[in-house]
Structure 1
Amino acid sequence: MDSDGTRDTRGTHANPVPRPAGPPVVPPRPARAPGVPPLPDGSGFLAWLRTPRPEAAPGVWRFGHRPRPEQEPERIPTRQLLSGAVIGFLCGWLLCSLLYNGFLGGFWLWPWFVMAPDSWTLGQAGWLSSLSYVYEVLFFAGIFAIFGKISRWGEVWRRFGPPAWRPKTDDSHEPPPTPEQDPVEWPQLRAAGAVDAAERLAADARAGVMRDVDHARILRAWQGVRGGRFSLATFTGTVLKDGAAACVHPSGARDLPGRIARHDLLTGQVRLGTTADDARNPYAYRGTGLGLDPELLGTSLVAVGPAGSGKTETVVRPLAESLCLHALAGRAAVVVVGAAGAGLGPADAYDVVVQIGNPESVYDLDLYGGTTDPDEAAAVLAEALVGDLAEPHQGGDTRRSTTVLAQLLGPFRAVHGRFPSVPELRQLLDGAPAPLAALRKGLQASGQESLLRELDARERQMGHPGDVGGILADRVALLDRPAFAAFFDTSGQSRPFSLKALDHPVRVRIDLPQRGHADASRMLARLVLAQFTASVAVREDRSLFACLVLDDATGVVTPEAVRGIQRLRSGNAGVVLTLRTLDDVPRPLRGPLLGATGCRMALSGLTPWDGQDFAEVWGKEWIEARDVTDRQIIAETPAGKVLHAVRQVITGKAPTARAVTVRQVERERWSASELAHGVPPGHAVLSLTSVKGEHAPPLLVDLRG
């Protein structure tokens, strides 16, 4: 069972081939995960697999997590703690001294008066004299124990004594799990009767030839067996034949080269940093790792921060790497879009690398998204061309643009059996007489009367002042450049990639030509986003998580894009968008964008006006506010006046009385000023929402931890 039939990438392997492409070359399966040295006994993988992962709040890194108490314990200030301990010791010493010297009487020696009233005195022979020493020691020790409890000596010992000097270690000594509970033994396979397959996988794990991707991939295949996609006999036969290399990804890869982030494929999380031990964070999150998984990315993520704040390095790259690992495990399909050289991972980490504007690129980009429906192609292309134009009179009404494109794409496909190339589409939109005449002649020859009426309507509209054909032609002209001459070919001579392949666990990276072609890059980014939202809505297998990672979404957010993002959650898909500032989004769309995404991140260096948008979407919370008022005390008697004068000379301040008022007030979780000036470098404030509706409040996160 090399594949279950739903994970083939339909010719999207990244093996270098000349243009036009020949048949793909499938590399041989590696005997071991590439780039990972074998462990003789597999102890590292076994320890990773057996590490506990307790249930936790959204965003908590579950690998080895230790839940904290529900209520935050009271932490006494150091000065108050030490002064109380010293005072408690002195009081205990004074009381013991007074009792020992008889200043408080001898009532505390009543046992010896009862048993031997004439022989309790120290120094007198007899066994009762020896016991009297023991009694005194125990009695005085009890006094010090009482004072120590009151003055919290135990807390002093834990905070400043030897327990605080030693590094914290895991002192839990749990017994080894039983075979029925040990994940290394694959108990779920044994319970279903696949004992031989479980034995083979357990042996490979102990031999050190299995890694986390192998475990996740085989577990995904087992879920396919339970879901009825293929039989238990097929699964068992494949596992017995290939062991840890069973059900391998169509690319043959079993790991990614040069991982940079910490991943836990058993929970699906990637660690982005550590939640700061800050009073503004909920107590349960302080000091815990922060991990994101498809359950959270399924609500989409938008990250806003200026250049140099770490969006690509600390957010986009780890998330892209995690999604590529999920794709190798058969769980996800990922498309990563960014500028060429943006550091989105090596080419070996992807199945398909589309380098638009680079003549050495193996793959092309399908301008029409792989569809054969002219109306669907027109709608997606119109969104890419004019979706960013805000005012309708500038051509921003994508419905009119869709109509214009459909009037040309339909007749052209009926005559030529394909959609027009970029130069051909530009000529048609410009109203060039020769292409339109040839198109009319072809329609008349084939008897396409309905499409002739579409073409007639297009020709009538060309002369009207409000026609958007000219604007569409100007936008298409951005792609009709020498740098893109070998791209967007529709004649079948290239190897175009279509987002229709997201039915399979494919890894795609699209490099945009930002340098010298900024407008074209933004238009292509809108095209990819529009094709992504249209493709995931009609997928057959929605058990596969699909994600689009868009590094720098400047000029990409449009009304239709926001509506598309809102629909992704129900299709088991999500997007990751990064922005330098919310000013790159039209003002009417900033609130809807933050409302449509469930995960929102504000990085350090945010502007106050950007912080205001985040503060509004995060809302307010009720807190306990303490108002302290100092009121000067006026002495009315001569003795009081003298005492106040002496006190003022000593302290340098007039005697005052302090009044404390506690009240409940509603305050912003994070104000615009705090987001602009209170987030340290390398940190971010992140709120989370899972596809199940679980929420995590805005958290201050150290992305470097």
Structure 2
Amino acid sequence: MEQNDARTQHTHPHLPPPRAPFHLPAWATAPRPQAPPGIYRQHHTPYDPRTAAENETPVGPLLLRAALNLVVAAVLYPYVVELEVLLIQTVGLGQQLTSALANPLALLLGAIAAVLLIWIFGRMGRWREVGRRFLVPLVSRTVTDAPPEPEAAPVVDVWAELRPAGEVVRRLEHEPVGDVDYVRLHQAWRSVGADAAGRQEFAAQVGSRGAAACAHPSEQRDLPGGRAARHDLLVRQVRLGTAQDVPKNPATHRNAGFALDPALLGTSLLAVGPAGTGKTAALARPVAEALCLQALAGAACAVVVGAADADLGPDDWYDVVIAPGDPSAPYGLDLYGAAPNPDEAAARLADALLPDELASRAESARTSMQQVVGPFRAAYGRYPGVRELRGLLAGDRDGWAELAEQLQKSGRRAEFEADLQQRERMHGRVDDPGALLADRLALLDRPALAAGFSGGPGAKPAFAMRALEHPLRVRVKLPERSHPEAARMLSRLLLGQFTQAAADRGDRELFAGLVLDDATAAVDAQTIRGIQRLRGANAGVVLLLRTLSDLPEALRAPLFGAVGNRMAFPGIAPWDGRLFSEAWGTHLVRETAVTHTPDTSGGTMRRAGRLVRKALSGTTAQTESVTTRDVERHRWSPSDLAHALPSGHAVISLTSVTGEQVPPLLVDLRH
């Protein structure tokens, strides 16, 4: 996906230089060969073992051999020509040739000699390899400095798949069509399948709206403000950088563009690195941008969570912007995720409210929350607001009396009598988990935050996580500066709701992606189990952490096992690097050991000569023995990850939803 609005390139420091205008036929027909996971496929040159073996030849010996063969060929050239003349005279043809044919014959003999010498000495001197490695790149850089014209595309009907819709498709040939339009129209056509009514509706849309047919509900056909990363929507890839040409990287990936797609994000990704190493700019923002573009194309839904000041794209990228504490934010958050099962919704909310140090009381807290939320929904037909829930958990007698009366009127008092009695017995006790939950809810029951949650006074329209079956783009801005503990609770709640809602979707056609810019407080045992279920649900999460030390030690190894992609940024602590190193395992490395020992061989004369040499030079004659063996070494040691990663780089291992794995790659995220 090469489309970009050059007019907006100056608005963001990470935007690349302006590119050539988008050319649909060239983009649609660009070569995209099959490649291992993680390779940006557009215009990719597949790995050729023979070419790679040639490239391993050192530059110095290669050029020296080529020059020597050229000198020898030049010296032998006149002798070869004389030999050819001598052979012609020997067979008696020399006297029969007229003077008019002498010059053409000399040219012919010279050409034959040149071809013969080039064939012999060119093969020995590897002139073809020298030309491919050095001359061709030099010529391509120096022929012209002018920007290349749009690449010539093969004469292919890019709308062939849509032709069965009728003559209305011809309208698309005369309109400017972007990559989002192209993918969206094909996605819509495939979704109708063989349904005759659906095909007629599709044709009517194309006939009336052209390239804007079947548009996203926002009517956007591209992201406002331009793009900061390179995308290829045809295969749903976002390019993040370039895999480096180093021995640690697999040969298939060296010098290739590095990209992520839903097949990789579907196994989820964990990125660890200190603040300032580029996690947000080089990973979170491009992935959020890719998910938003795919949502516009009707292929994904995106939930992007981060601090209000995190650079995760402008608000215009998103359909729903939730910012608790910001009066101008148009939407609020449904604390229960519109879950149809009140026990499930209550359990998720209870888990989110408790901090890590109170995890031991999680089970009793879930039960207490369920004993309130279930009866309330049965009585009123809705979930309680923050203030109502807080009062009931704290044992507000008026609230409980009104709830019992409503249950009696609805005829469901007997169904929830045991819950009511249990909560009544627990009220006022020191070990009442309801009081603990009420204290935690007080952090959300603030005047600045109340309107941002469903059920609160003057509540805004609430987004519910159950809407993941639609191509929505959601941005949640957490109030980390003004209400840090509330922000941590909301991050836990959103991650838990997402893992539950994404796995429970009836229609999994859309890829559901969540990007969590700071997952420090969001990870618990429940969400780790939820992340593992996402692999088969066409969904995945991207979790960013500053350090693994912020997580309880019991959660670190399970989190590493739950995600398929692990990414380490420069400057991580050695104890964080140890977990990465252990997860990536070891591989065999050929190790060469050179041993020097004093030379004691020979007779009297040789020993005397060695004594004279030692007296004159001060060095002892030694013999050298070389031993080569295969030993196991860490692919990346903790020390390498902590101290040897250059700025702007990262190491990432990959696993696709089909089980394909790629060992850790050193990637330059700046190119």
Q: Give the TM-score category using the shorter length.
A: 0.7 to 0.9
CA distance in structure 2 between the aligned counterparts of 1:36 and 1:221, rounded to whole angstroms: 30
Counterpart of 2:446 in structure 1: which amino acid? R
After superposition, the Cα gap between the structure-2 partners of 1:90 and 1:63, relative to the gap in structure 1 and judged at 3 Å, is: closer
Query: What residue is the counterpart of 1:8 in the other structure?
Result: none
Q: Is the 8 A contact 2:22 2:178 kept in 1?
A: no
DSSP 3-state at the match of 1:575: strand
Match of 1:182 among 128, 152, 157: 157
Structure 2: unaligned runs, 5 residues or longer: 9-19
Query: What residue is the counterpart of 1:219 in the other structure?
Result: 186
Query: What residue is the counterpart of 1:423 in the other structure?
Result: 387
CA distance in structure 2 between the aligned counterparts of 1:587 and 1:60, rounded to whole angstroms: 34
**Identity score, percent:** 46
Counterpart of 1:211 in structure 2: which amino acid? G
After superposition, the Cα gap between the structure-2 partners of 1:397 and 1:113, relative to the gap in structure 1 and judged at 3 Å, is: same
Match of 2:141 among 164, 167, 175: 167
CA distance in structure 2 between the aligned counterparts of 1:222 and 1:645, rounded to whole angstroms: 90
Match of 2:583 among 614, 617, 626: 617
Query: What residue is the counterpart of 1:478 in the other structure?
Result: 443
CA distance in structure 1 between the aligned counterparts of 2:142 and 2:85, rounded to whole angstroms: 46
User: Would you say 1:399 and 2:363 are equivalent positions?
Assistant: yes
Match of 1:512 among 471, 475, 478: 478
DSSP 3-state at the match of 1:330: coil
CA distance in structure 2 between the aligned counterparts of 1:218 and 1:402, rounded to whole angstroms: 46
Match of 2:345 among 374, 377, 402: 377
After superposition, the Cα gap between the structure-2 partners of 1:540 and 1:126, relative to the gap in structure 1 and judged at 3 Å, is: closer
Match of 1:459 among 416, 424, 438: 424
CA distance in structure 2 between the aligned counterparts of 1:669 and 1:560, rounded to whole angstroms: 31
Counterpart of 1:468 in structure 2: which amino acid? P
* CA deviation after TM superposition for structure 1 residue 656, in Å: 4.5
* CA deviation after TM superposition for structure 1 residue 86, in Å: 5.5
After superposition, the Cα gap between the structure-2 partners of 1:333 and 1:638, relative to the gap in structure 1 and judged at 3 Å, is: same
CA distance in structure 2 between the aligned counterparts of 1:43 and 1:500, rounded to whole angstroms: 36
Query: What residue is the counterpart of 1:324 in the other structure?
Result: 292
Q: Is the 8 A contact 2:231 2:237 kept in 1?
A: yes
CA distance in structure 2 between the aligned counterparts of 1:682 and 1:292, rounded to whole angstroms: 18
Query: What residue is the counterpart of 2:59 in the other structure?
Result: 78
Which runs of structure 2 are paired with 1:107-122 in the superposition (5 Å)?
111=87, 114-115=90-91
User: Would you say 1:529 and 2:529 are equivalent positions?
Assistant: no
RMSD: 3.8
Counterpart of 1:253 in structure 2: which amino acid? Q
CA distance in structure 2 between the aligned counterparts of 1:634 and 1:588, rounded to whole angstroms: 61
* CA deviation after TM superposition for structure 1 residue 503, in Å: 1.3
After superposition, the Cα gap between the structure-2 partners of 1:229 and 1:452, relative to the gap in structure 1 and judged at 3 Å, is: farther
Query: What residue is the counterpart of 2:15 in the other structure?
Result: none
* CA deviation after TM superposition for structure 1 residue 686, in Å: 1.0
DSSP 3-state at the match of 1:505: coil
DSSP 3-state at the match of 2:474: strand
After superposition, the Cα gap between the structure-2 partners of 1:561 and 1:684, relative to the gap in structure 1 and judged at 3 Å, is: same
After superposition, the Cα gap between the structure-2 partners of 1:163 and 1:415, relative to the gap in structure 1 and judged at 3 Å, is: closer
CA deviation vs aligned residue, 1:29-67 (integer Å, no higher than 9, x gap): xxx999989xxx987233222222121111111111121
Q: Is the 8 A contact 1:635 1:644 kept in 2?
A: no
Which runs of structure 2 are paired with 1:301-316 in the superposition (5 Å)?
301-316=269-284
CA distance in structure 1 between the aligned counterparts of 2:588 and 2:192, rounded to whole angstroms: 50
CA distance in structure 2 between the aligned counterparts of 1:432 and 1:376, rounded to whole angstroms: 24
Query: What residue is the counterpart of 2:177 in the other structure?
Result: 210
* CA deviation after TM superposition for structure 1 residue 212, in Å: 0.8
CA distance in structure 2 between the aligned counterparts of 1:147 and 1:645, rounded to whole angstroms: 48
Query: What residue is the counterpart of 2:212 in the other structure?
Result: 245
* CA deviation after TM superposition for structure 1 residue 295, in Å: 1.4
Counterpart of 2:364 in structure 1: which amino acid? R
CA distance in structure 2 between the aligned counterparts of 1:232 and 1:144, rounded to whole angstroms: 64
After superposition, the Cα gap between the structure-2 partners of 1:671 and 1:130, relative to the gap in structure 1 and judged at 3 Å, is: same
Task: Please report the TM-score for the alignment, with normalisation by the length of structure 1.
Answer: 0.82
After superposition, the Cα gap between the structure-2 partners of 1:432 and 1:667, relative to the gap in structure 1 and judged at 3 Å, is: same
CA distance in structure 1 between the aligned counterparts of 2:187 and 2:269, rounded to whole angstroms: 25
After superposition, the Cα gap between the structure-2 partners of 1:657 and 1:157, relative to the gap in structure 1 and judged at 3 Å, is: farther
CA deviation vs aligned residue, 1:170-206 (integer Å, no higher than 9, x gap): 999998634xx432xx11123xx324133222232xx
After superposition, the Cα gap between the structure-2 partners of 1:664 and 1:198, relative to the gap in structure 1 and judged at 3 Å, is: farther
DSSP 3-state at the match of 1:483: coil
Q: Is the 8 A contact 2:453 2:459 kept in 1?
A: no
After superposition, the Cα gap between the structure-2 partners of 1:42 and 1:202, relative to the gap in structure 1 and judged at 3 Å, is: farther
Q: Is the 8 A contact 1:34 1:256 kept in 2?
A: no
CA distance in structure 1 between the aligned counterparts of 2:622 and 2:119, rounded to whole angstroms: 37
CA distance in structure 1 between the aligned counterparts of 2:540 and 2:107, rounded to whole angstroms: 77
Q: Is the 8 A contact 2:23 2:150 kept in 1?
A: no
Match of 2:633 among 667, 670, 674: 667
DSSP 3-state at the match of 1:681: coil
DSSP 3-state at the match of 1:548: strand
Q: Is the 8 A contact 2:452 2:459 kept in 1?
A: no
Match of 1:490 among 427, 443, 455: 455
Name whichever of 422-431 and 483-492 sits farther off: 483-492
CA distance in structure 2 between the aligned counterparts of 1:266 and 1:298, rounded to whole angstroms: 18
* CA deviation after TM superposition for structure 1 residue 251, in Å: 1.2
Query: What residue is the counterpart of 1:629 in the other structure?
Result: 595
* CA deviation after TM superposition for structure 1 residue 236, in Å: 1.2
Q: Is the 8 A contact 2:292 2:473 kept in 1?
A: yes
Match of 1:257 among 224, 229, 244: 224
CA distance in structure 2 between the aligned counterparts of 1:35 and 1:410, rounded to whole angstroms: 55
Q: Is the 8 A contact 1:631 1:658 kept in 2?
A: yes
CA distance in structure 1 between the aligned counterparts of 2:7 and 2:210, rounded to whole angstroms: 17
Name whichever of 434-443 and 403-412 sits farther off: 434-443
DSSP 3-state at the match of 2:453: coil
DSSP 3-state at the match of 1:166: helix
Name whichever of 149-158 and 350-359 sits farther off: 149-158
After superposition, the Cα gap between the structure-2 partners of 1:675 and 1:563, relative to the gap in structure 1 and judged at 3 Å, is: same
CA distance in structure 1 between the aligned counterparts of 2:112 and 2:594, rounded to whole angstroms: 46
DSSP 3-state at the match of 2:448: helix
Name whichever of 442-451 and 564-573 sits farther off: 442-451
After superposition, the Cα gap between the structure-2 partners of 1:66 and 1:171, relative to the gap in structure 1 and judged at 3 Å, is: farther
CA distance in structure 2 between the aligned counterparts of 1:446 and 1:93, rounded to whole angstroms: 105
After superposition, the Cα gap between the structure-2 partners of 1:643 and 1:224, relative to the gap in structure 1 and judged at 3 Å, is: farther
Q: Is the 8 A contact 2:25 2:153 kept in 1?
A: no
CA distance in structure 2 between the aligned counterparts of 1:507 and 1:160, rounded to whole angstroms: 48
Counterpart of 2:29 in structure 1: which amino acid? R
Which runs of structure 2 are paired with 1:512-661 in the superposition (5 Å)?
512-634=478-600, 636-637=602-603, 640=606, 655-661=621-627
Alignment length (residue pairs): 646
Counterpart of 2:26 in structure 1: which amino acid? A
DSSP 3-state at the match of 1:167: helix
Structure 1: unaligned runs, 5 residues or longer: 1-31, 101-105, 120-124
Q: Is the 8 A contact 1:271 1:291 kept in 2?
A: yes
Name whichever of 530-539 and 566-575 sits farther off: 530-539
Match of 2:42 among 50, 60, 63: 63
* CA deviation after TM superposition for structure 1 residue 312, in Å: 0.7
Task: Please report the TM-score for the alignment, with normalisation by the length of structure 2.
Answer: 0.86
